Chain A
Amino acid sequence: MNSLLLWLTDLLSRTLDPDERSAVRGDCDESAQTALQTLHDVFGLVVRRQAGLWMNWRPWLALAGVAAPTALLLIAGGSWLANGYALQLWVFRNYADIELNYLRESHSTVLDGLLFLSSRSFLLAGWSWSSGHVIGKVAGRARGVIGILFSVYLVMSGISRSAAPYNYDVNGGFFSSAFYARVLPFVLQVLLILIPALWGMRQASRSDQSPAVRNLLWVASVTTAFAVPALFWWPAPANLHSWEWLLAGCWYMPLVYVLATANWTRWRPQST
């Protein structure tokens, strides 16, 4: 029990500044408090600190202006990709029964399918990671709370998903099974959206960002800006609602961010 309480205290303490974390935990140790009292004290301080942060405009911008619209569009992208997975898995499963010429004409051979799924999966994960990075940077120290809200929203939307994927005559009730309708989209949402986005938010918290991460952010942002609209929503599938089009600018956010924060001096020619 004590170890669980200490683990929770450690987890909460991470949202504090390193100096403050050290001072507060040291004070609690010195006062010989119980683990529960320490958790209570640290929780109280974290709540006060977070409340103070939310008096500022930045967390609100990160939440309402970046995280919420990005989450909506990422979920729409994840849903679209889950339908693609369902269709390709059905094709793989019934490969022997489908004419090879038809598979070639419809670009549904094994190679086509693998290329389609891997490219879109990488793209969705890269989009999620770069968006998470932007959310983390804009949110500043409120990124912990925004990360929790982002996760809760994604998980809840995954659990409550009700839309049935493709339901062609040829496959009958195949896609309405629980696996294709709920489990697969949820797993993809966690693996390709939630985990990369949280990873991006975590990396955004580091002040000593490596050049490799900065370069990766450039690559992911540029790729997201150009490839997501082309590969996910072009031509526009019928399942993209009009309100989703209003959020379409979200896939340009990482690029706008890296351009806005770029250190242009290193590109400038050196004066002699």
Chain B
Amino acid sequence: MIGEFEYLLLTAASRLGNEAYGAAIRQEIENATEKRCSIGALYTTLDRLETKGFLKTWMGESTAQRGGRAKRMVRVTAKGIREATAFYEVMTRVTRGASWGISRQGIL
């Protein structure tokens, strides 16, 4: 099973869709967790997930905003979606019955 940070990354990349690349994914993770996301953790996790076949990366276009440097684009693969779904289901099941498992909407 994937780890917590791997899940965060896969989810952020999936939400961003065609706009998923390093800086955007990092921003998504920081917004969600309200914690700083280090570039080192982000890029080494991207590599690990790509090696496992959970996502695919390629070098995209460069923009003036980035000082003319290229983006590393990311796309979550079907295998990655399955892993993230499995992680989510396990977390949902394991949280059921816990005191913090009752959401405001009472879904859990």
Contact = CB atoms under 8 A, between A and B. Distances in A.
B105 interface: no
Given A31-B23, A31-B26, A41-B38, A24 B43 contact: yes
Interface size class of B (residues with CB under 8 A): 20 to 34
Interface stretch (A44-52, A63-71, A123-131, A216-224): A44-52
Contacts, number: 69
B56 interface: no
A179 B83 CA distance: 68
Interface string B49-84: 000000000010010011101111000000000000
Contacts of A22: 59, 62, 69-70
Contacts of A46: 40
B12 to A, nearest CB: 14
Given A27-B22, A27-B23, A44 B69 contact: no
Main secondary structure of the interface of A (DSSP, over half): helix
B86 interface: no
Given A23-B71, A31-B26, A52-B44, A44 B65 contact: no
A41 B69 contact: no
A30 B65 contact: yes
Nearest to A52: B44
Contacts of A52: 44
B108 interface: no
B45 to A, nearest CB: 10
Contact of A19 (B23, B26, B59): B59
A26 B39 contact: no
B39 A30 contact: no
B67 A25 contact: yes
B40 A29 contact: no
Contact of B44 (A23, A42, A48): A48
A205 B10 CA distance: 34
B39 A20 contact: no
Contacts of B62: 22, 26
Identify the 10 closest CB pairs spanning chains A and B, nearest first.
A26-B69, A44-B40, A26-B66, A23-B72, A45-B40, A27-B23, A41-B39, A27-B22, A48-B40, A22-B69
Interface of A: 19-20, 22-31, 41-42, 44-49, 52
Given A25-B69, A26-B71, A52-B44, 10 more contacts: A23-B72, A26-B23, A30-B23, A30-B66, A31-B26, A44-B39, A44-B40, A45-B39, A47-B40, A48-B41
